[in-house]
Structure 1
Amino acid sequence: MSDQSSFELHSSHEKPKNFSPKKKPTPSSIRVFFFTSSKFLTILLFQILILHFIFRSPTKSVPLQETILPKTPPFQSLESKKCEHGTLYVYDLPPMFNKDILNNCRDLDPWHSRCNALSNFGLGPKATGPIAVPENLSPSWYWTDMFAGEVIYHARMLKHECRTKEPESATAVYIPFYAGLAVAKYLFTNYTAKERDWHSVKLLKWVHDQPPWKRSNGSDHFIMLGRMTWDFRRTRDEDWGSSFIHMPLMKNILRLGVERDPWDKLEISVPYPTGFHPKSKSEMNQWMNFVHGQNRTSLFTFVGAKREVKGDFRTILQNHCYNESDACRLVDCSGTRCYDGTSEILEAFLASDFCMQPRGDAYTRRSTFDCMLAGSIPVFFWKRSIFHQYEWFLGDEPEKFSVFIDRKEVRNGTSIRKVLEGYSKEDVRKMREKVISSIPKFVYGLMDSDEMGSNKDAFDIAIDGVLRRFKEQRGGKDT
C-alpha cells in the first residue's frame, strides 16, 4: 500500500473539529456509520490501486527475458555494445531450398554421394589416420569440402549473437539458399537451362513475396554462394551454369562467394574453407607457432594434376617440378587421389617456401588457402587469382605475401626456380610472416565454440563487413 493511501485511510476516521452531535448516537447508528465508511474506503482504495497500476505498469506486454532478469539491459542496449553495426535476420526458407537439398545429398553429384562431405554442419568428417599436425590439434582437423561454404555459413548464422527474430529492425537479411549445391547436380550432365535455373527461380519468387523484401526491394539482403561466381552467370541457354546472378530480382542482393567478379560491386570474395577449424585462441596460436617453426627443405612445391587439354598450364608446372626435383616437391593429384584430402598435401606445403597456384576451374583455388595455412608463400600466374580478391581477409597488397609470375613468361621459358631463388632470405621471411599473421582471418573456427574470445575468424569478418556496408549504405543510421 502506498503512503498516500495510508494517509487517506487514517484521515477518514478522524472526528472533524466542529463536529457537535445534537443527540447521543445509538449502537445501530454507529454500525451504519462504520458500514458506510468502510464501503466508501473500499471503493476509494480500489480506485487508488487502479490508478497506481495504470501509471506504474508498462503499456504493453513485457518480454520474457525482462520478467526473469529485470536488471538485464533492454535488447537495444545490448545491441549498441555487441552489435555496433546492427542486427541480422535469417529467413526461414521452405525446406526445398536448403534442408531437402542436404537430405538428398546422395543425388547432388552424378558420380558419388556428397553426404559425407556435407556432414558436421558442412565441416565434413574428422580427419583420420596419420596427419602432419601436433597430436592435440588433430581433433580440430576435418576433411572439409571446398564447396561446403553455404552449409557452414547457414549453421553459423543461426548462432550469430546479433541475429534478431524481428525483420523490421534488422540491418541485414540473410537468404540461406544452397544455390551452389542445388546447381552442382546439373552442371556436368545433359540438363536443360530450365532445370539448372529451377531452384533459383522458385527461391526468388518466394523471397519477393516476403515483407522484408517489399520494404527494401532486396537492397539489404545478402546470400552466400559456395561455388565460383562463373557457375551462376550463364547468359545463353547452351552455356555453362545457371543464370541466377543475371535474374532481375538479384540486381540489389549482396553476394558472398569463394570467388568474385572483380567488376561486380555486389560481390565479395570470402576464403574457401580449409580443413583446420580451431576451437580456441590457444589452438590457433599453437598452430601458428608450429607453422612458424617448420624446417622447409624445398624451395617450392606443386599440388595438382594434369588436364587432358591442349596447352594445359598445369602440365607445364608439373613438368617444371619434375625437372627441378632437387628444389621442387610434387604431389600428383591425378584421378580422385586428393579429393577427400590427404596428409601428403599438408606435408608438402609445410616443407616448402613457396607453392605454385595456377588457376583452377576458375581463377581461384582452394589450394591457395591450404598452402597459406601451412605458412607457404603462394605463387600466382593470373592476376585475377588474387588481385581484387579476399581484400577483407588478406588486405589489398598481394605483393606483400605472394609472388606473381606472368604465365606467358613461363610458357616462353622463364624458370620459376630462378625467379624464386632471386628473393633474399629476408624477403622470404617477411612474406612468410605476413602469410602466418593472416591465418586467423581466413580459417573458419569450430561452431559453438566460446573459447575464441574476441578473435574473429573468416565468418566473423565477412558478416561484420556485410553489416558495416549496409549501415553505411543507409547513411550510418541505426534501425
Structure 2
Amino acid sequence: MLPLSGNSSPEHHPRKLKSYELFGRKNSFNSLLQQFHHQQSRLWLLLTILCLQILLIFIIRFLSFPLPLPPVISSAANRLYRFPSAAVSPASTDVDHCKNGRIFVYDLPTAFNQDIVKNCDSLNPWSSSCSAMVNGGFGQRADSLAGVIPENLVASWYWTDQFVTEIIFHNRIMKHKCRVKEPESATAFYVPFYAGLAVGKFLWTASSAEDRDHHCRMILKWLSDQEYYKKSNGWDHFITMGRITWDFRRSSDEDWGSRCIYLPGMRNITRLLIERNPWDYFDVGVPYPTGFHPSSQDDMSAWQDFVRTHSRTHLFCFAGAKRAAFRNDFRGILLDQCRNSTAEKCRVVDCAGSRCSNGTSAILESFLNSDFCLQPRGDSFTRRSIFDCMVAGAIPVFFWRRTAYYQYEWFLPGKPESYSVFIDRNAVKNGTASIEAVLEKFSREEVREMRERVIESIPMFVYGTGAVKDAFDVAVDGVLRRFKEQEEWGYKWK
C-alpha cells in the first residue's frame, strides 16, 4: 500500500485568560469578596487546563490511527502493483468471519466445470488426467511416502497435480461459512469455471485460436446475461484460473494460449492464478498446490514439529533439469555448482525426463534433508517447487524477485530476508558469486530463525480439507477485503 501522507492537524492554542487588577481593601466584606473572586479565578484556570489536556489526548489518539487507503489500480506497464502482506487470524464466530461480506456461487451449466472433469481422459495429449481429479482435486493418496514421513501423517499426503486449484477452490467454497444461496444478500460472486483445465488440452496441440478461446467466450456471454454481473460490471466477481496468467494472455492468434484475460467481459473480474502479472491489479497470485493436505490442526502441528526437528545432512539442494534449448541455461549452471560443491554439501535431484513427475519421493527427501533449496525460475517466473521446498521446512534461495516476492504477498512473510535468500543470478553466471560460499556465511542461529519463519508460514500456503485456516481461506478473505475497500472508496470505473 502507499504510505499515508498529508498535512498535520491544525494546532490548538488556549485562549489567553484576562488578568484582573485587585483593588485595596476597604473593609472586611470587600476582603472576603476579593478572596472569593481569587479562588474562583484559580478554579476556572484549573478547569481550562484540564479541558485542554483532554482535547490534546483526544487529538493524539485520533492521529495515531492510520487512515485506510483505496486500492491502487495500475494499468500502465511501468507500475508494479504490490499486495500488502496480511496474516489472517482464525475467526471466532460466523459474524466476525463474514464481516467483510458474503459469497454467492453461480450454478453454472455443467459444460463449464463438471463436463470438463468427466472428460479427464482428453485433458492431456500424452496421458489421462483422471487420477489427478480424484479426492476433490488432491489426486491419489501418496502411500509410498511411508518410511519417508511419520506414519501418522501419511494419510495427509497425496500426489497432487499443480494445475487443480480450480477444483480445490470450487469444492471448498461450496462449504464456506460465508456462502449464501440468495444473490441479493451477497457482496461477492464466485464463478466456478475451470478455465485452466478447459484450455489445457489445446495448449500442446495444433489447435486454432477459436478452440483456445471457446470456453472463455461462452462463459463471458453467459455472465453478461446475469443480473448481478450487469449491476457491477464484474467488480464484485472473482474466479480461479488454475494456470499461470500468461496462458490466458495471447496477443495474436499465432501466439501461445488463449485471450481469456484480454476479452472485454473479463476486465474487472478478480482472478486467482498460480502466477500473476505483477502489473495487473486484478491478478492475484495464489500458491501452487503441494502434496500436503492436513485434515486437522493436529496434523498441521505434527508436520511442523517433524520438519522443525528433522536432521538435515546437506547445506543445500537442487531439483531440476537442464534446458538444452536455452543458451547459457541457468539451471545447468546450478546443477554444475551443486555437483561441484565441496564434501557433497549439495544434494542433486536431476529431473531429466520424467524422474520428477508426481509419484516420486526423491524430491521430498532432498528438501527434508537440506537447509536451503535452490529455486530458479521455471517455464515462467514461478514454479511449484517453491512450495514443495518450504512445506518440507527448507529455506528457498531465489534468483529472480518475481519468482516469489512479487507474487504471493498475501501468503508469505512480508520481509523476504526473514524466510529466504536472494542471490544475483548475473553474479552466479559470471562466476563472481559462489552459491555454496554465500550460504555458508549464514550462522546456525540465522538458519534456525529463517527455517522457523518458513515453518510458521506453512498453514498460509497449503490447501487443507477445511479444518485448518489455510491458503484457500487467506485467498477468499483477501478477496472479500478487497471488494469491501472498493465499495468504501468508490474506486471503480464503469
Which TM-score tier does this pair reach, normalised by the shorter chain?
Answer: 0.7 to 0.9
Between the aligned partners of 2:172 and 2:229, the Cα distance in structure 1 is 23
Q: State the match for 2:114 in structure 1.
A: 99
1:279-318 to structure 2, matched below 5 A, reads 279-309=295-325, 310-318=327-335
CA contact (8 A) 1:79 1:86 kept: no
Instruction: Tell me which stretches of 4 or more aligned residues in structure 1 moved more than 6 Å.
Output: none
Shift of 1:306: 1.5
Between the aligned partners of 2:359 and 2:374, the Cα distance in structure 1 is 18
CA contact (8 A) 2:393 2:454 kept: yes
Between the aligned partners of 2:282 and 2:323, the Cα distance in structure 1 is 33
Residue 264 of structure 2, aligned match among 245, 248, 254:
248
Between the aligned partners of 1:185 and 1:102, the Cα distance in structure 2 is 12
Count of residue correspondences: 394
Between the aligned partners of 2:414 and 2:261, the Cα distance in structure 1 is 25
Q: State the match for 1:193 in structure 2.
A: 209
Between the aligned partners of 2:469 and 2:348, the Cα distance in structure 1 is 34
Q: Does 1:473 align with 2:486?
A: yes
Q: State the match for 1:171 in structure 2.
A: 187
Q: Does 1:230 align with 2:264?
A: no
Q: State the match for 2:125 in structure 1.
A: 110
1:16-31 to structure 2, matched below 5 A, reads none
Q: State the match for 1:23 in structure 2.
A: none
Q: State the match for 1:376 in structure 2.
A: 394
CA contact (8 A) 1:89 1:172 kept: yes
The one-letter amino acid of 2:410's match is W
Q: State the match for 2:8 in structure 1.
A: none
C-alpha distance after superposition, 1:329-378 (max 9, x if no partner): 01111111221131111111010000000111111111000100011000
The one-letter amino acid of 1:278's match is P
Q: Does 1:432 align with 2:447?
A: no
Q: State the match for 1:401 in structure 2.
A: 419
1:86-165 to structure 2, matched below 5 A, reads 86-131=101-146, 132-165=148-181
Q: State the match for 2:69 in structure 1.
A: none
Task: Decide whether aligned partners of structure 1 residues 107 and 424 sit closer, same or farther in structure 2, where only a CA change above 3 A counts.
Answer: same
Shift of 1:81: 4.0
The one-letter amino acid of 1:457's match is D
CA contact (8 A) 2:94 2:177 kept: no
Q: Secondary structure at the match of 1:205?
A: helix
Q: State the match for 2:64 in structure 1.
A: none
CA contact (8 A) 1:291 1:375 kept: yes
Higher relative contact order (CA 8 A, sep 6+): 2
Between the aligned partners of 1:316 and 1:386, the Cα distance in structure 2 is 21
Listed as ranges, the gaps of 5+ residues in structure 2 are 1-92
C-alpha distance after superposition, 1:264-301 (max 9, x if no partner): 11111111111011111111001000000011110000
RMSD of equivalent CA atoms? 1.4
1:204-223 to structure 2, matched below 5 A, reads 204-223=220-239
Between the aligned partners of 1:278 and 1:149, the Cα distance in structure 2 is 16
Q: Secondary structure at the match of 1:299?
A: strand
CA contact (8 A) 1:388 1:396 kept: no
Between the aligned partners of 2:123 and 2:96, the Cα distance in structure 1 is 42
C-alpha distance after superposition, 1:42-67 (max 9, x if no partner): xxxxxxxxxxxxxxxxxxxxxxxxxx
Shift of 1:476: 8.2
Per the normalisation by structure 1, the TM-score is: 0.80
Residue 422 of structure 1, aligned match among 430, 441, 458:
441
Shift of 1:328: 0.4
Shift of 1:82: 3.7
Listed as ranges, the gaps of 5+ residues in structure 1 are 1-77
Between the aligned partners of 1:156 and 1:339, the Cα distance in structure 2 is 26
Q: Does 1:458 align with 2:475?
A: no
CA contact (8 A) 1:98 1:176 kept: yes
CA contact (8 A) 2:143 2:155 kept: no
Q: State the match for 2:289 in structure 1.
A: 273
Q: State the match for 1:65 in structure 2.
A: none
Q: Does 1:362 align with 2:380?
A: yes
Shift of 1:128: 2.1
C-alpha distance after superposition, 1:150-174 (max 9, x if no partner): 1000010111111111112211100
Percent identity for Structure 1 against Structure 2: 59
Q: Secondary structure at the match of 1:129?
A: helix
Per the normalisation by structure 2, the TM-score is: 0.78
Q: Secondary structure at the match of 1:392?
A: coil
Between the aligned partners of 1:260 and 1:130, the Cα distance in structure 2 is 32
Please tell me whether Structure 1 or Structure 2 has the larger radius of gyration of its CA atoms.
Answer: 1
Between the aligned partners of 2:441 and 2:401, the Cα distance in structure 1 is 20
1:342-357 to structure 2, matched below 5 A, reads 342-357=360-375
Residue 428 of structure 2, aligned match among 390, 410, 419:
410
1:33-44 to structure 2, matched below 5 A, reads none
Q: State the match for 2:200 in structure 1.
A: 184
Between the aligned partners of 1:129 and 1:400, the Cα distance in structure 2 is 34
Shift of 1:395: 3.0
Q: State the match for 1:80 in structure 2.
A: 95
Q: Secondary structure at the match of 1:101?
A: helix
